[in-house]
Structure 1
Amino acid sequence: MLELRPTCENCDKPLPPSSTDARICSFECTFCHDCVEQVLQGVCPNCGGGFVPRPVRPARDWKNGHFLGRYPATGTVTHKPVDAAAHAALVARLDGLAPERR
């Protein structure tokens, strides 16, 4: 079950469960679209993987109790701004490899 983390790890922008601006890697590191594109260059600073849009959990119980009310988002904030120099080194090491080849 996805945690649906509440903010961007880098800039701390709010990313509520209904946000279509949230991006996650396969380890569920969570960043906003702007940070992924402008700061991270599509590379997760924690694992080196790529990003996809985070799914939106239904707010209403449409079927079998699978909704936000039964499975709420976490309230735990993970805020660890990216070290620009370390991230630049990681991006350089990946040398343009597509996420599926990392």
Structure 2
Amino acid sequence: MLQLRPTCEHCNTALPPESLDARICSFECTFCANCVDGVLGNVCPNCGGGFVPRPVRPVTDWKGGNHLARYPAETAVKHRPVDPATQAALRERLRGVPPEQR
């Protein structure tokens, strides 16, 4: 089950379950769109993968009990600010490698 983490790991901006600003990698590392574009350069600092928009979990029980009330968002914050020099080195190493090939 996707965790729906509550904040951006870098800047700690709130990313509630309905946020269209949340981005995740395949390991569910969660960042805001501003950090993914402006700080990370679409390179996850934890795994080197790329990011996609995080899906929004339905609030309404449209079918089968699959909704936010039954499967709530995480509450534990993972605030791990990215070191700019380390991220720049990782971005440089992966420059020219598309996310789907990392």
- Same-fold status (TM-score > 0.5): yes
**Which TM-score tier does this pair reach, normalised by the shorter chain?**
over 0.9
**What TM-score results when the alignment is normalised by the length of structure 1?**
0.98
Work out the CA distance in 1 between the residues paired with 2:94 and 2:62. 42
Question: What are the equivalent positions in structure 2 for 1:73-88 lying under 5 Å apart?
Answer: 73-88=73-88
Answering whether residue 70 of structure 2 is matched by residue 39 of structure 1, we say no
Q: Hey, which bits of structure 1, 4+ residues long, moved more than 3 A?
A: none
**What TM-score results when the alignment is normalised by the length of structure 2?**
0.98
**1:25-55 CA-partner distances (Å, limit 9, x unpaired):** 0000000000000000000000000000000
Q: Structure 2 stretches of 5 or more lacking a match?
A: none
Work out the CA distance in 2 between the residues paired with 1:75 and 1:95. 34
Letter in 1 for 2:20: T
Give 1:48's aligned residue: 48
Letter in 2 for 1:42: N
Output the aligned Cα RMSD: 0.5
| Matched length | 102
Q: Structure 1 stretches of 5 or more lacking a match?
A: none
Letter in 2 for 1:21: D
Give 2:20's aligned residue: 20
Give 2:95's aligned residue: 95
Give 1:61's aligned residue: 61
Work out the CA distance in 2 between the residues paired with 1:77 and 1:96. 32
